[in-house]
Amino acid sequence: MIETDFLVIGSGIAGLTFSLKVSNHGKVMIITKKEKAESNTNYAQGGIAAVMSPLDSFDSHIQDTLISGDGLCKREVVEEIIKTAPIRVKELIELGVQFSKSEDGKDYDLGKEGGHTHRRVLHATDFTGREIEQALLTAVSNNKNIEIHENFIAIDLATENGQCIGCYVLNKEDSEVVEICAKITVLATGGIGKVYLFTSNPDIASGDGVAMAYRAGASIANMEFVQFHPTCLYHPYAKSFLISEALRGEGAILLDNSGNRFMEKYHELKELAPRDIVARAIDNELKKSGDDCVFLDLSFKDSDFIRKRFPNIYKTCLSFGIDMTKQPIPVIPAAHYACGGVKTTTSGETDIKNLYAIGEVACTGLHGANRLASNSLLEALVCAHNAANKCIEQIKKGIGFCEVISWIPNSTVDSDEMVVVSFNWEEVRRLMWNYVGIVRTDKRLLRAKRRIKNLQEEIAQFYRDFKINSDLIELRNIADVAEIIINSALLRKESRGLHYTLDYPEKSNEPSDTLIRIRARNNQKK
């Protein structure tokens, strides 16, 4: 049994920022299920939104966020996060993050993305996430109060009398389960993209935090709002590669297979309309034409500019034989971001005592029904700071350790049926793509619900019969997250933001959050 003051699950921007901020107040243990840099954060391209120019204003950033959120953002949350953004971003800069500067090197080169009425996106060319992740990891590695364990995958939260007391974790290197007792446990586990067949997210994004919190009895909010990024690279060998919205911010246009621009039919802001509108427009064009993809064209811009501003996208496209300085890039929408998540305050408090959730795993009310581009890194940064302050207060008041009951394995038999596990992975992801995608109907949602229930029964059987491993842990999680998304979508009898259903195409006059909560399942093996 391991004891730590702060157990942080996840090493993206949220988990690392939190860890650094609490590190003077106790022992911090970060666990992360692969190599430490492997996170959604590491792949962020466009940047981080904050008001940094005298030409911009908080009011404008707030307004853009509210419009994008389509009536479901919590205004006080939006105001709080946006008004503290510049302070938190300056801390990142002090930590060593080098954002791109203008030609004369005096000001930051601010990018533009869909739904933003001003240039306000700080970026490090199109490697923004990697720049932030590396700066945070360097600071963590120089901090003697923080331990980081790679290849440790959290299985389930340990709870007692309605409070979180730690976590069960599989050490992937020796396949042993360890019990970690923590005064405070922080979910910073990121997104859910892998629940869908096509996604911009890396493999780590299997919704583990949402699934664990759900099984522990926490409230989960607004999971029907899955954001589909309009432009991911379409190529048989390109897995999960995003073509940043910043291209459209620099003037890139969307074309159909015959070279016709189509966004003007859908929104006055054309390619820079909010993301839900652009993704739906592409989906509609593809359904009408039967084509496999549409095209994003920036080739009319100066090629030196393209290579300098988008070195990552340029090189990756070129490796697939696409020269974006000369030709349009084939693109399709793909699952990108969870606007919903574990319901929290802006300080990461969940409705389970001593359990916090920050970053993409959380639902604070900032994004409403559709996140404004580049507001996600921002939310993670601000809420990690706030959560750290809240947890320091809690620790100072005094929290004791509670013993986590030992894990008793259900079986010691290694599964000889891993192939079935991968079939089930594929089935969940395909049915979510086909039935719970950009355009929904009750009939398709109900069909998905029945299939997920069957799959969950099979997965539970695997859990009982075989020795636990990371594929099985993630499979159970994507199935649980799929169930939550489907149930949330069935509860919303309207079309709003990212949730569009042919059965209820109008918006309701009284929008509200969807909340999903179960009585905690008994996760502790006795």
Nearest to ligand SIN of 246, 468 (CB atom):
246
Q: In angstroms, rounded to a whole number, what is the distance separating the alpha carbons of residues 457 and 454?
A: 5
Q: In angstroms, rounded to a whole number, what is the distance separating the alpha carbons of residues 66 and 368?
A: 8
Nearest to ligand SIN of 316, 374 (CB atom):
374
CA neighbor of 60 nearest in space, from 50, 73, 71? 50
Q: In angstroms, rounded to a whole number, what is the distance separating the alpha carbons of residues 377 and 221?
A: 20
125 forms part of the interface with ligand FAD (CB under 6 A): no
In sequence order, which residues have a C-beta less than 8 Å from that of residue 235 and are 6 or more positions away? 320, 322, 330
- From 80-88, 285-293, 296-304, 371-379, span contacting ligand FAD (CB under 6 A): 371-379
- Which value, to the nearest 10 degrees, does the dihedral of the CA atoms of residues 260, 263, 269, 274 take? -140
128 forms part of the interface with ligand FAD (CB under 6 A): yes
274 forms part of the interface with ligand FAD (CB under 6 A): no
**Residues binding ligand SIN: number (CB under 6 A):** 9
39 forms part of the interface with ligand FAD (CB under 6 A): yes
* Among 21, 33, 88, 248, contact with ligand FAD (rule: CB under 6 A): 33
Nearest to ligand SIN of 246, 254 (CB atom):
246
13 forms part of the interface with ligand FAD (CB under 6 A): yes
Q: In angstroms, rounded to a whole number, what is the distance separating the alpha carbons of residues 249 and 239?
A: 24
CB of 278 to ligand SIN, least distance (A): 11
240 forms part of the interface with ligand SIN (CB under 6 A): no
246 forms part of the interface with ligand SIN (CB under 6 A): yes
- From 283-291, 370-378, 397-405, 502-510, span contacting ligand FAD (CB under 6 A): 370-378
Q: In angstroms, rounded to a whole number, what is the distance separating the alpha carbons of residues 311 and 317?
A: 10
How many helices (H) does the chain have, and how many strands (E)? 14, 17
Nearest to ligand SIN of 271, 283 (CB atom):
271
CA neighbor of 246 nearest in space, from 109, 92, 430? 109
46 forms part of the interface with ligand FAD (CB under 6 A): yes
Burial class (CB in 10 A: 0-12, 13-18, 19+), 450: exposed
Structural tokens at position 150: 């790679």
- From 5-13, 214-222, 265-273, 317-325, span contacting ligand FAD (CB under 6 A): 5-13
CB of 289 to ligand FAD, least distance (A): 27
State residue 192 phi and psi, 5-degree precision: -130, 15
Q: Which of ligand FAD, ligand SIN, none binds 186 (CB below 5-8 Å, type-dependent)?
A: none
Q: Which of ligand SIN, ligand FAD, none binds 370 (CB below 5-8 Å, type-dependent)?
A: none
Rg (CA), the chain: 22
Nearest to ligand FAD of 390, 444 (CB atom):
390
CB of 193 to ligand SIN, least distance (A): 11
Nearest to ligand FAD of 41, 354 (CB atom):
41
* Among 377, 387, 472, 486, contact with ligand FAD (rule: CB under 6 A): 377
CA neighbor of 14 nearest in space, from 191, 199, 192? 191
Catalytic residue among 130, 275, 444, 476: 275
* Beta bridge partner(s), residue 365: none
| 275 included as an active-site residue | yes
CB of 44 to ligand FAD, least distance (A): 3
Using DSSP's 3-state secondary structure scheme, residue 178 falls into strand
**Residues binding ligand FAD: number (CB under 6 A):** 43
40 forms part of the interface with ligand SIN (CB under 6 A): no
- DSSP, res 349: B
Is the separation of the CB atoms in 36 and 47 below 8 Å? no
CB of 377 to ligand FAD, least distance (A): 4
- From 64-72, 91-99, 238-246, 410-418, span contacting ligand SIN (CB under 6 A): 238-246
Cβ of 302: how many Cβ atoms within 10 Å? 10
Binding string to ligand FAD for residues 156 to 195, with x set by CB under 6 A, is what? --------------------------------xxxx----
Using DSSP's 3-state secondary structure scheme, residue 102 falls into coil
Is the separation of the CB atoms in 148 and 140 below 8 Å? yes
Q: Which of ligand FAD, ligand SIN, none binds 140 (CB below 5-8 Å, type-dependent)?
A: none
Is the separation of the CB atoms in 181 and 172 below 8 Å? no
Binding string to ligand SIN for residues 320 to 339, with x set by CB under 6 A, is what? -----------------x--
In the block, residue with structure tokens 């916090």: 356
Q: Is the dihedral of CA 393, 394, 399, 404 positive or negative?
A: negative
Nearest to ligand FAD of 13, 498 (CB atom):
13
Nearest to ligand FAD of 99, 266 (CB atom):
99
End-to-end CA distance of the chain: 15
Burial class (CB in 10 A: 0-12, 13-18, 19+), 49: buried
Measure the CA angle with vertex 423, ends 418 and 424; round to 5°. 95
100 forms part of the interface with ligand FAD (CB under 6 A): no
In the block, residue with structure tokens 């949330």: 488
Is the separation of the CB atoms in 90 and 393 below 8 Å? no
The residues that touch ligand FAD, with contacts defined as CB under 6 A, are: 9-15, 31-34, 38-41, 43-48, 128-129, 153-154, 188-191, 200-201, 204, 208, 242, 337, 359-361, 374-377, 380
Catalytic residues, by residue number, are 275
The residues that touch ligand SIN, with contacts defined as CB under 6 A, are: 45-46, 244-246, 337, 373-374, 376
